[in-house]
């Protein structure tokens, strides 16, 4: 079982829909990172958070440390949001170089 689990693995939405991607982790973490990866590979950082909630434009990330769970929400989704969204847990001092990655959620937003 992965230490960081994401759901769903694949998600198809219509433009304008509200989208939620979930991330659960089983390790002790110091922070959690939400990343976006477009075809071609490059990874862009969306949020890094250790508590509460962060918002940037149409993106909102929340984390509940007690429940070991984080969510990424996209409001008013757009086809340009189509990408793979990855959550990564900061496990400083752990055996995996600080970051433990989920497998990603592939989002496709249809016009």
Interface positions, 22-41, toward other proteins (CB under 8 A): 30-31, 33, 35, 40-41
Closest distance of CB 16 from other proteins, Å: 28
Q: Copy the structure tokens of residue 81.
A: 């949001």
Give the nearer residue to other proteins in terms of CB position, either 51 or 75. 51
**11 near other proteins, rule: CB under 8 A:** no
**99 near other proteins, rule: CB under 8 A:** yes
Interface positions, 39-78, toward other proteins (CB under 8 A): 40-45, 48, 50
**90 near other proteins, rule: CB under 8 A:** yes
Provide φ and ψ at 79, rounded to 5°: -55, -30
**Could you give the C-alpha distances from 35 to 45, 66, 104, 111, in angstroms and in order?**
5, 22, 9, 23
Reduce the DSSP state of residue 79 to 3 states and report it.
helix
Closest distance of CB 85 from other proteins, Å: 11
Question: In angstroms, rounded to a whole number, what is the distance separating the alpha carbons of residues 100 and 96?
Answer: 6
Provide φ and ψ at 57, rounded to 5°: 60, -125
**102 near other proteins, rule: CB under 8 A:** yes
């Amino acid at each position: 079982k992965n230490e960081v689990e994401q759901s769903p693995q694949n998600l198809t939405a219509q433009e304008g829909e509200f989208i939620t991607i979930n991330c659960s982790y089983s390790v002790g973490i110091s922070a959690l990172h939400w990343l976006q990866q477009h075809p071609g590979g490059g990874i862009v950082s969306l949020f890094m958070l250790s508590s509460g909630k962060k918002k940037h434009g149409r993106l909102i990330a929340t984390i509940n440390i007690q429940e070991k769970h984080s969510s990424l929400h996209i409001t008013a989704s757009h086809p340009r949001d189509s990408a793979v969204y990855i959550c990564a847990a900061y496990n400083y001092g752990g055996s995996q170089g600080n970051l433990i990655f989920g497998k990603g959620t592939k989002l496709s937003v249809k016009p």
